[in-house]
Structure 1
Amino acid sequence: MDENTLKLLVKLTQEGQLSCLEKRITLGGSAAVQTISRKHFGRSGDTLLHYAARLGHLEVVEFLIKRVGVDVEVYNNDYKRPLHEAASMSHRACVSYLLREGAKVDSLKKADWTPLMMACTRRHLDVIQELLRHGADPALRNKDGWNSFHIACREGDPLVIQHLLLAAPDVWRTESKTRRTPLHTAAMHGCEEVVKLLLERCGYTPDSTDSCGVTPFMDAVRNGHIPVARLLLDKHQASPTAADILGAQPVHQVAVTGQEEALWFLVRDLKVDVNQKATDIELTALHYAAKEGHTSTIKTLLDLGADLHVRDKKGRTALHMACIGQHADAAGTLLQLGLKDSEDASGATARQLAKKPDVVRVFECGSPDAS
C-alpha cells in the first residue's frame, strides 16, 4: 500500500466510516489485510485499532479484530493497548468488547498505568465498574506509586470513590513513592466531598506527612481550598502550625503560593502568628512572599501585622529576598513601604543582590517603572 492510501485508512478509521474502510482494505486483497494487521502509524506507533478504540467506533473495532486480524493486545510506542485507549476515553461498549475478545484487564502501558487507572482519570463509573467486574486490581501501583484510588481522589467523584472502597475496602491504605496518601491528593485538589468521605470511611492518621513533611492541611491551604482546610481541622484534628522538614508552617507555604484569603484564614481566624519563623533559616511569611515576588501578598501580610523589618538567620530582610528572586515590583513596593536597604550578616546589601536591570533600576529611580 502506498502512503496516501495508508493515510486515507487512518482518516476513515478516525471518522468511523466502516463501509469505506472495509472496501478500501478488501480491494487490496490478502496482502493489504496482512499489512494493515501489523501496521503502526506515526511517532506514537498507533495502529488502526488504537484509533478506533480511542474514538469509540465499536463496529470498526470489531471489524479490525475479526476481519483484519489485528491483535487485541497490540501496543504502541508507549505500550498502550486498545483497552487503555477505550478506558481512558470512557467508551464502555469498546471496553466490554475488547475484554470479551481477550484483552488483559491489567495490562501496563508506559509508567505502569493500567486501563483502570486511565478510566479513573474520568468520571464515568460504568467503565470503572466494567473493568472491576473483569477482575481489574485497584491496588496496583504505577511507577510513581499511585494506585487507581489515588487517581480517583484527584478527580474528585464521590461515587467513584465509594465504589472503589466497596470493591476493595483496603485500597485507601496506600502511599505514593513520595509517601503521599489519597487524602493528600484530594485535599490538594480541593475535592471537599471526597475529603469528607475519606475522613468518614478511612483510617488516616491526623497530620500524616509525605516525604517533604507536608500534611493534607498544608496541601489544602497553600492551594486556597479553605472549606477543605476547615473540614480537616473540624473532623481530623489537623494542626494549623505543623511544620514540614524545612520548618515551614502553613502560613509560610501560603505566602509562597500567594493565597491571600488563606492568609486571612490562618492569621485572623486561627490566630496563627504572622511573624512566626520557619526553623530552617528563620524566614517569615513576608520573606517567602518577597522572594516569590507576590506584591499583593506582601501588602496583605503587612495588613495582618507582619513586621517589615524582621530579619532571617542570615540577617536578610524581605528586601534582600525580593532581590534574590529578582522581583522588581516586590522590591519597589518594599522600598515604598519604608523598608530601607541595609547589609545582611555577610555585609551584602539588597542592591548588591540585584542582577536584572529592572531590579537595579528600582534602587536608582525608586520605582520599577521609572525610566
Structure 2
Amino acid sequence: MPEVPRGAPQMSRKRGAEPGSLPEHVAERKKACWGILTSQGSWADRSPLHEAASQGRLLALRTLLAQGYHTNIVTIDHVTPLHEACLSGHVACVRALINAGANVNAATIDGVTPLYNCCASGSVGCMELLLQNGAHTYTACTHFPSAVHEACKRGHSQCVEFLLSHGVDPDHEVSHLGSPLYMSCLHQHTACSKILLHREEPVLISAEGQTVLCMQLSDRTMLIRCQCYLTMELMSTAGTVTISDLWS
C-alpha cells in the first residue's frame, strides 16, 4: 500500500468530512437534542428507522419502510421514528412517515408527543404537517408535558404564535410548570412573552399557583426580580393587562 505522507490531515470515516471540530452553533444544537433524546431513552433499542429519521436520511428511511419496517415501531420508552424526525426538525422525513401511516399523537412513557418535540426543535414546518394530519395540541393528562410550555421554555416564538393561531389556550396551566407566560418569563424570552401578552387576558401564574409579582423572593431573588421588572415593562406596553390586575 502507498505510504500516507506524514502530517497529512486526519479525515473522519464519513466521506467528504473535513477535519476539525463542528461549528459552535451546530455542536450546541446537537448537544441540546442529545439531552432530550437520552431523557426519552437510550440509543440501544432504537431501530435503523429511528436512526434514519433522526439524521434526516430520507432515502434510507424510504428504503427501510419499503423493506417492511413498521412506521410506528417503538423503543422500550415508546419513542417512535416520528418523534425522532420532529426532534431534529426534518420536515421531509416527517412527511414521509405520516404518509406511511405514522401516529401523529403517539406518546412516550413520559407523555412526550411529536408536537412537543417540534417545539423543542423549533420546527414550525414539522408542526404544520402534524396539525394538518390531526395532531392534538393537548394531552389527556394535565401533568404531561405541554407543547406550548416547551416552546416558551426554549424561546421559540414562532412555535408559540403558530400554536396560539391553532386554538391553544395561552393560559393553559400544567401542575408543575405553571402558565406559558410564567415559563417564558422564567427563562427570560421576551419575544414569547410579548406574543402571550398580546393575547386576550393573559395570566402569569407560577407552578405554585401564585402570580409572579406576588411570589416571595427566595434564594433566586435576583432572577425573580428581573423577571418581575421584565413583566411589568411588557405589560405596560401591551395594553391588554394592567399591573393592578395582578394584585386583584
| TM-score normalised by L of structure 1 | 0.48
Contact 2:115 2:130 in 1 (8 A): yes
Does the residue aligned with 1:162 lie in a helix, a strand or coil? Answer: helix
Shift of 1:251: 6.9
- CA 1:161–1:213 in structure 2 vs 1: closer, same or farther (change >3 Å)? closer
Cα-Cα RMSD = 2.9
Matched, 1:199 2:199: no
Equivalent residues in 2 for 1:48-197 (5 A)?
A: 78-168=44-134, 170-174=135-139, 178-197=143-162
Answer whether contact 2:174 2:207 (CA < 8 A) is retained: no
Correspondence 1:352-367 to 2 at 5 A = none
- The superposition leaves residues 21-45 of structure 1 with CA deviations (integer Å, 9 ceiling, x where unpaired) of xxxxxxxxxxxxxxxxxxxxxxxxx
- 2:175 corresponds in structure 1 to 211
Instruction: List gaps (5 residues or longer) in structure 1.
Output: 1-13, 17-75, 277-371
Counterpart position of 1:266? 231
The count of residues paired between Structure 1 and Structure 2 equals 199
Select the structure of larger CA radius of gyration. 1
Q: What TM-score results when the alignment is normalised by the length of structure 2?
A: 0.70
Matched, 1:232 2:232: no
* Greater relative CO (CA pairs within 8 A, separation 6+): 2
> How far did residue 98 of structure 1 move?
0.4
Please identify which structure carries the higher helix content.
1
Unpaired stretches in structure 2, ≥5 consecutive residues: 1-12, 16-41, 237-242
Q: Deviations 1:255-278 (Å, cap 9, x if unpaired)?
A: 5682775432224453758xx8xx
Shift of 1:249: 2.2
CA–CA separation in structure 1 for the residues paired with 2:166 and 2:177: 24
| 1:213 shift after superposition | 5.5
Q: Give the aligned partner of residue 210 of structure 2.
A: 247
Alignment partners' CA distance in 2, 1:188 and 1:96: 34
In structure 1, how many angstroms separate the alpha carbons of the residues matched to 2:170 and 2:43?
43
Partner SS, residue 270 of structure 1 = helix
Q: Write the letter of the residue equivalent to 2:164.
A: L
1:190-224 Cα deviation digits (max 9, x unpaired):
1111111111112x334211122610000101001
For residue 186 of structure 1, what is the amino acid of its counterpart?
Answer: A
Equivalent residues of 1:174, 1:182 under 8 A apart: no
Q: Is the 8 A contact 2:212 2:228 kept in 1?
A: no
Percent sequence identity over aligned pairs = 20
Q: Secondary structure at the match of 1:237?
A: coil
Counterpart residue identity of residue 138, structure 1:
V
Amino acid at match of 1:93: L
